[in-house]
Amino acid sequence: MTLEQDKFISKLKQQLDQSAENVSPEVGRRLQQARQQALRIPRKRWFFAGLLSRILAPNRKRRYRIAWAGSLAAVFVAAAIYIALVPGLNDHLEVDALEVLAAEDSLEFYDELAFYEWLAKENAQDAG
C-alpha cells in the first residue's frame, strides 16, 4: 500500500470510528436493550427457553412473523376442530367403513357395489 493510500484509509477509519461513537441516543438505547435481552438467553442446552426469549425480544420483524404464524396456526386449529366436531361432515365415511368391517356379506358384493350404484342411477334416469 502506498503512503497516500494509507492516509486515505486512516482518514476513512477515523470518520467511521466517529460515526460509531456518535450513534443517536435512540439507537444507543436500542442496542443496549438488545444486548441485555441477548444476555438473558439461557445458554445452549435450554433450547425452548432460548426460543421463548427470542420470541419475547423487542424485535419488530420477529413480532410480525410470530403474529403471522400464530394467525395461520389458529386458522388450522379452527378448521381441524370444525371438521372433527361438526356432525355430518365425515360421518358417512366412518359409517361406511364400520359397516363394511362388521358386515357378514362377501367382499365380492362390496367390490360390485359401485356397479350397483351406477345401475341404480341409470334406472332412475330412464324412469325420469
What does the binding site for another protein look like in residue numbers (CB under 8 A)? 5, 8-9, 11-13, 15-16, 18-32, 34-35, 37-39, 41, 43-44, 50, 54, 57, 59-62
Q: Cβ of residue 71: shortest distance to another protein, in angstroms?
A: 17
Closest CB to another protein among residues 25, 128: 25
Q: How far apart are CA 15 and CA 32, in angstroms?
A: 23
Task: Provide the CB-side half-sphere exposure for 89 (13 A, CA).
Answer: 9
Closest CB to another protein among residues 15, 90: 15
CA 112 to chain centroid: 44
Is-contact 37 62, C-beta < 8 A? no
Q: Cβ of residue 76: shortest distance to another protein, in angstroms?
A: 25
